């Protein structure tokens, strides 16, 4: 829907985002992704798929794998599949801690 009083032409994208926050905060995450994609490009707005083999190579006994989650993200199944691939059915060596 267009903004009233010719604000659509007068405001910058960021200012429109602030208006959106004031009136439709429930949809803000989607608008923020759209804003980032328009300003910085597609690669900054959409996450890369997680390849556990590559993540695991960067970890060791002093460098844990930590996921910072966004709403709706659930990496547990991905992690457990990878752990079974690496160690079979024995998952005793892994500890999953939820901080939320």
* Tens-digit pLDDT profile for residues 46-80: 877 778 888 888 888 898 877 777 777 777 788 88
pTM reported for the whole predicted model: 0.51
Phi-psi region of 72 (alpha: psi -120 to 50; beta: other; left: phi over 0): left
> What does the block give as tokens for 45?
């707005």
Interhelix angle 13-23/28-40, nearest 10 degrees: 170
């Amino acid at each position: 829907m267009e903004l009233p009083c010719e604000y659509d032409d007068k405001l910058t994208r960021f200012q429109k985002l602030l208006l959106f926050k004031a009136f439709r905060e429930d949809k803000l995450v989607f608008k923020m992704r759209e804003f980032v994609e328009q300003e910085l490009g597609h690669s900054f707005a959409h996450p890369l798929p997680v390849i556990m083999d590559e993540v695991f190579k960067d970890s060791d006994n002093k460098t844990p794998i930590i996921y910072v989650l966004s709403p709706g993200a659930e990496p547990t199944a991905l992690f457990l599949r990878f752990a079974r691939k690496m160690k079979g059915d024995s998952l005793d060596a892994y500890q999953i801690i939820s901080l939320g």
